[in-house]
A and B are shown apart, each in its own frame.
Chain A
């Protein structure tokens, strides 16, 4: 496996995540897209770690996963609260911060 392959896979996953984030209105799916983006970067980190024979990339990947998990926990908690108060999870309706 050359590193072009790693780069292409990673870019493909990242684009999927980005597009998914932009076109979906369900926040759960948006979270999943976000995870895709993060994991595409993880994939890149791990791939290059093995390519460069260095462990730094893998350590970064672990940290990113931990942060992503923590962030999802907070995000889901917020979503739960929003759902309880508004019975509606369409992100386009959540625009109370409009200027």
Chain B
């Protein structure tokens, strides 16, 4: 009954093919709307699927697989080209196509002057297609296909401005990190096939509980291998270093891929495979621990960075950490809900940052900004809403999702007090870094005198307003989302008691962060200088991102390079090349000898022919 859901995949694919083949011939002002229309149509189809799903009984909403045709039938292995419609995939698609559509619209304004506009929209459409495939896949095979394709789209878009060396390097880094994850996923699929004899979600998840006891080796192996993919895609420790560098891409790309959709794929994966993760409490603990560690680790780095987009990128890592904490302690619905609210406010912040960068002529250093409140009132207010939602200010959307996760980390039996304490501490840091960014950018005096900031054009501003609306009010949808997703996760998460003390601690932590930022960055320059001096060693450590890049460089990149250079000189040049070149030279010599026969003289050829015929005749007659 959900056959039409294929259209969700079809439209962006058509957009990608059309724009990459004929984009140069279409009038420039039609390219953007065409690119948006495909995603918009996908969104409408998703809405239709949502409506149809809501008409069904909650119990019947699961496992609607629609298969197009059997693709591979080999022995007992069978693979259909199929999609799976259930509340989780539709929910995720709503975020992907909905926020994706808004960001596409924003790109019309942001990329207006770029000469490679059609290519940009083609890549963006490719990304939406890949992400939809990842979400709609009905088996691990197409999950991996989508997984790798979003990595590709991310690579293409990070390196979109390919004349910048730094962009190309960042794209390469992101791709390598993502491929590490892909390899993990592929191995996970092997183990799943070995254990279950199928890759189909429905069959695997139905068979798993009866097949394995909790913490069975095989389940642990599968979940850990899947986690490699999830951590790489979602930039969790230790595979996180690519995300801040990915900010080299155009800002709408950062908003779409590196905030709202692709990086949340890891959370989606854990939620999608929750049956397996429920069977592996050890892995669950690891998920939660890595999540909360990444949250505090990235949050602390965000406090001292100076590049407006990098700050938001670290904040994204930190919020992804919260999502992993949520799924790690078993409240999948909350993790998905935070994913949604985060998509709204983080896309809003990125696009707000984009309009600031746009207004200041590609300036990204917050030390050179300031005083934009008057020049860009609309961006100012929407950014304020985004920052409030990110810090979990009461009644904004971030409050409902993040506070709930923090509260669950206190009550959940899979959690412990350390997780909760770090979560609360990170709430404080979140408030601090978001408002450090906000105050530096919009308050005070303009610090670069020759800039003439201007408000964003209406396509960009309109998108900001829509996203700001959702960032403010999406939190009130919490019970609806929870109830909608409940069937997928086997019922709603156990309710936690109302605890006003706990709630207040969270709110106070967030406000404390905001006020500290205010105290340091609105008034007193002396206090700021004093604080920097006081924390100088830590400041340096944070500013240099805990030296993780340097560590990886020393541990992995350099040894690999040295080994490669050694093998190149000793093995490649001295051994392999000798053989290969030798074969080539031998063939050349032999052909030279042979080519002397080709004298070009007709009479020689004729003589050869006649001699040949005579020899054959003699052979036939006398043998």
Contacts and interface: CB of A to CB of B under 8 A. Distances in A.
B615 to A, nearest CB: 15
Contacts, number: 32
A18 interface: yes
B600 A96 contact: yes
Contact of B601 (A18, A21, A30, A91): A91
A94 interface: yes
Given A99-B595, A99-B596, A92 B601 contact: yes
Contact of B598 (A22, A91, A94, A98): A98
Interface in A42-99: 91-92, 94-99
Contacts of A95: 599-601
Contacts of B505: none
B595 A22 contact: no
A94 B599 CA distance: 10
Given A99-B595, A99-B596, A22 B610 contact: yes
B607 A99 contact: no
Nearest to B598: A99
Contact of B599 (A18, A21, A22, A98): A98
Interface string B577-617: 00000000000000000111111111100110010000000
Interface residues of B, number: 13
B494 to A, nearest CB: 86
A91 B604 CA distance: 11
A97 B598 contact: yes
B600 A99 contact: yes
A78 to B, nearest CB: 12
Contacts of A99: 594-600
Residue of A18, A92, A99 ringed by the most chain B CB atoms within 10 A = A99
Nearest to B595: A99
Nearest to A34: B606
Contacts of A97: 598, 600
Nearest to A91: B602
Nearest to A24: B603
B26 to A, nearest CB: 51
Nearest to B591: A99
B240 to A, nearest CB: 63
A99 B605 CA distance: 13
18 contacts: A21-B606, A22-B606, A22-B610, A30-B602, A91-B601, A91-B602, A92-B601, A92-B603, A94-B600, A94-B602, A95-B600, A96-B600, A98-B598, A98-B600, A99-B594, A99-B596, A99-B598, A99-B600
